[in-house]
């Protein structure tokens, strides 16, 4: 089998490349990544000699077509602009990468009759849940995106479905909750908090810090994607969650405890526009149909993640000099000690 993994030098994509290399050693792996803020070829250093790697933007059809002509069986589409804060400041690049590029990839997948196209998406397309409610997102939840990022991912989801209904392309879609783990760039809460704690710098928490996310260890996500790719039903969507709902304060407290740093490092900042209050995933369909269950608790996964960053300073140190800090995060207030 020959598998094309788009965005394979990014956080989740590179973890999936390593997963496939370990669990399907007979597969030929082709990676395409334009190496934007999330992409880092260093993530694939250990396997570069065993895979085929290309650096270009997926909208460049002239470069993408020869890869399909070489004979692709599966496509797993991770490539996307993913940071909500940057989507607020630069929505155009998100539409280009997440919608237009996905259409090029789908059209070539249709033309070259690939065996399966799996599209990796997010729970953010569903909007927001109320704090304290028992509701969770599932495969029947109506779409209600609230940021340029989530709107662009919603658009790509609909495109994928349209290729199934219109052209009969063999597709599956997964909508995941917040990932964390090795190779995650410090634009996201877990690596940012870990690196800030290592360096005795403030852990900045949006608003009141009570917005909740469902946290999913990236290796569990990779395992779920692989199950869907090989065993999922064509045309179906599967929600992938970790079953671990945590807010920003809890994330900070856990990381400060693991790193043995003082609680005084917590600092609250002005909330970002359109900040969703709660995401939670009901992954019962995936559990019932394909036997998926998370393999680690949140505490175990966070400890493993913090340990990875502790043991790989040469990987994350270059990022310390180019942190992305949104303009609306500049107004900060110290933690209320009451």
Which tokens in the block code for residue 179? 């990932």
Q: Of the residues 123, 157, 245, 282, which is catalytic?
A: 123
Dihedrals phi, psi of 217, to nearest 5 degrees: -70, 135
CA–CA separation, 12 vs 178, rounded Å? 11
**123 catalytic residue (yes or no):** yes
**208 catalytic residue (yes or no):** no
Is the separation of the CB atoms in 330 and 272 below 8 Å?
no
- Residue with the two structure tokens 């000699």: 49
User: Interhelix angle for 61-69 vs 101-111, to 10°?
Assistant: 30
**236 catalytic residue (yes or no):** no
Which tokens in the block code for residue 331? 């107004």
Of 118, 27, 107, 100, whose CA–CA distance to 68 is shortest? 107
Which tokens in the block code for residue 3? 């598998």
Q: Of the residues 16, 149, 180, 292, which is catalytic?
A: 149
Q: Of the residues 124, 226, 245, 282, which is catalytic?
A: 124
**How many C-alpha atoms does 63 have within 13 Å on its Cβ side?**
13
User: Interhelix angle for 148-167 vs 101-111, to 10°?
Assistant: 20
CB burial of 251-277 (b: ≥16 within 10 Å; e: otherwise) equals bbbbbbebbebeeebbbbbeebeeebe
Of 193, 188, 57, 171, whose CA–CA distance to 124 is shortest? 188
CA–CA separation, 48 vs 210, rounded Å? 41
* DSSP H or E stretch at residue 192: helix 189-198
Extended beta strands in 84-143, E state? 116-122
Q: How far apart are the first and last CA of the chain?
A: 59
CB atoms within 10 A of CB 140: 9
Which residues are known catalytic residues? 123-124, 149
């Amino acid at each position: 089998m020959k598998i094309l993994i788009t965005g394979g030098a990014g956080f989740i994509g590179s973890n999936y490349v390593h997963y496939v290399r370990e669990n399907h050693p007979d597969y030929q792996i082709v990676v395409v990544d334009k190496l934007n803020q999330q992409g880092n070829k260093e993530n694939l250093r250990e396997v570069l000699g065993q895979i085929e790697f290309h650096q270009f933007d997926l909208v460049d059809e002239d470069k993408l077509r020869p890869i399909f002509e070489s004979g692709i069986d599966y496509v797993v589409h991770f490539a996307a602009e993913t940071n909500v804060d940057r989507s607020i400041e630069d929505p155009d690049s998100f539409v280009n990468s997440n919608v237009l590029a996905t259409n090029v990839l789908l059209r070539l997948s249709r033309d070259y009759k690939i065996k399966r196209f799996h599209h990796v998406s997010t729970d953010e397309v569903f909007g927001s849940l109320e704090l304290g409610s028992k509701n969770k997102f599932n495969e029947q939840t109506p779409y209600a995106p609230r940021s340029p990022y989530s709107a662009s991912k919603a658009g790509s989801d609909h495109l994928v479905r349209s290729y199934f209904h219109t052209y009969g392309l063999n597709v599956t879609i997964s909508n995941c909750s917040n990932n964390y783990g090795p190779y995650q760039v410090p634009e996201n809460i877990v690596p940012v908090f870990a690196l800030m704690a290592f360096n005795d710098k403030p852990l900045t928490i949006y608003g009141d810090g009570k917005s909740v996310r469902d946290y999913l260890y990236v290796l569990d996500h990779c395992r779920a994607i692989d199950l869907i790719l090989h065993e999922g039903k064509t045309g179906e969507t599967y929600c992938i969650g970790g079953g671990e709902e945590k807010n920003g304060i809890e994330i900070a407290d856990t990381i400060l405890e693991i790193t043995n740093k003082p609680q005084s490092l917590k600092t609250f900042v002005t909330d970002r526009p359109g900040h969703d209050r709660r995401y939670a995933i009901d992954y019962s369909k995936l559990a019932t149909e394909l036997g998926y269950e998370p393999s680690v608790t949140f505490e175990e996964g966070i400890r493993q993640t913090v340990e990875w960053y502790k043991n790989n300073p040469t990987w994350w140190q270059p990022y310390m000099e180019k942190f992305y800090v949104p303009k609306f995060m500049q107004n900060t207030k110290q933690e209320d000690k009451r």
